[in-house]
Amino acid sequence: MALREFSIRVPATSANIGPGFDVVGLSLSLYLELDVSYPLDPPSEYAHPVLSYTGEGADEVPLDAYKNLTTRVALYLLRCHAVPRFPSHLTIRVRNAIPFGRGLGSSGAAVVAGTLLGDALASLRLPQTRLLDFALMVERHPDNVTAALVGGFVGSYLAELAPADAAAASVPLSEVLPEYPPDASAEWGLHPPPPPRGIGHFVRFNWAPAVRALAIVPRFELSTALARAVLPTHYSRADLVFNMQRLAVLTTALGQTPPDAGLIYEAMKDRVHQPYRKGLIPGLPEVTSAITPATHPGLLGICLSGAGPTILALATHNFDAIAEDARAIFKRFDVEVDWQVLDIAGGSAVSEAAA
């Protein structure tokens, strides 16, 4: 039986990088990978997709393709293009190295993988900007999904939409991504609201090759929804100016060679999200204040990765000492951690097997 086979690879991401809350993201060399196949001439009776999964999250992720985040996003994209269902006898094998709920963009990677899966299954070849629209209809803040899709150190904003488009972009997620029951009646969920065009806009900043990312990953999950719920809705002018001043410097400073630790360390400080999240991450202020370029040569800056609980340390060397000292501080708060040194990754990729 002739098969179509392709694979999808999406990197992890670290969002915010200190002052860039919901604005900047960095793709990292840790991947969500999908191997996809289906027969080009399937048996006449329709068979639903079969999903298998190894690696991070394997014990908690739904294997029902109508409940799994990646395949639901793919079905959303397919149905927005008048393709009502997955190809028959579709098999998806997932390997995931991105831990769930740790601030390394696992949900953003799952969403981007879903947009690429839907696009590839229907051979749509949508432009990257349109794929981003679909990802943003689901994830709704651009930092992780943009960096995961395009790769590198990326800044992004959401367009100010015309009123009708703004309404379309803010329909409840449950309408965008209903949990499609496999025995759904013919019409149910067939016509989800498509995303408006041009929701997200981005630019890639330079990145100094000597700078690597140390991810210090606590062994507990923190949902992004919970970590966003503790944030205020209003900020003082002083706190906004504090962050904007640092972000303006940081986006250029991280591309300069040699990197200037004094400049970057201060530019990675934040007053918009980290102070409010410290109650959810025991040891966070102690780690970020005790580990500095003065105490740990090689360190450039240290911050919460995304919504946490992972700590991101940017450094050129001395990774073991930085990580082990962070581990010792976390231990005082009964938090166990794992750590790894990561490189800045390229964007997502789809590779088609030769026919």
Ligand X SMILES: N[C@@H](CCO)C(=O)O
Ligand Y SMILES: Nc1ncnc2c1ncn2[C@@H]1O[C@H](COP(=O)(O)OP(=O)(O)OP(=O)(O)O)[C@@H](O)[C@H]1O
Q: List contacts with ligand X (CB under 6 A).
A: 15-16, 21-22, 141, 143-144, 224, 227-228, 273, 306-307
10 Å CB burial of residue 175 (0-12, 13-18, 19+) is: exposed
Q: Which of 27, 115, 144, 156 binds ligand Y (CB under 6 A)?
A: 144
As a whole number of angstroms, the distance between CA 32 and CA 298 comes to 30
DSSP 268-336: T--SSSHHHHGGGSTTHHHHHHH--TTTSTTEEEEEE-TTSS-EEEEESS-HHHHHHHHHHHHHHTT--
Query: Closest approach of Cβ 234 to ligand X, in Å?
Result: 17
Identify which of 118, 130, 117, 134 has the alpha carbon closest to the alpha carbon of residue 176. Answer: 134
228 contact, one of ligand Y, ligand X, none, CB 5-8 Å limit per kind = ligand X
As a whole number of angstroms, the distance between CA 216 and CA 323 comes to 7
Pick between residue 259 and residue 306 the one whose CB is nearest to ligand X: 306
Question: How many C-beta atoms surround the C-beta of residue 98 within 10 A?
Answer: 24
Residue 12 DSSP code: E
Residue 41 DSSP code: S
Query: Closest approach of Cβ 305 to ligand X, in Å?
Result: 9
Query: Closest approach of Cβ 195 to ligand X, in Å?
Result: 19
Q: According to the binding rule CB under 6 A, does residue 138 interact with ligand Y?
A: no
Give me the 294-333 binding string for ligand Y, x by CB under 6 A, dash otherwise: ------------xx--------------------------
Pick between residue 272 and residue 326 the one whose CB is nearest to ligand X: 272
Residues with Cβ within 8 Å of 232's Cβ and at least 6 positions away in sequence, in order, are: 276
Q: According to the binding rule CB under 6 A, does residue 108 interact with ligand Y?
A: yes
Q: According to the binding rule CB under 6 A, does residue 16 interact with ligand Y?
A: no
Determine the 3-state secondary structure of 141 from DSSP: coil
57 contact, one of ligand Y, ligand X, none, CB 5-8 Å limit per kind = ligand Y
61 contact, one of ligand Y, ligand X, none, CB 5-8 Å limit per kind = ligand Y
119 contact, one of ligand X, ligand Y, none, CB 5-8 Å limit per kind = none
Q: Which residues contact ligand Y by CB under 6 A?
A: 15, 32, 57, 61, 68-70, 96, 100-108, 110, 144, 223-224, 306-307
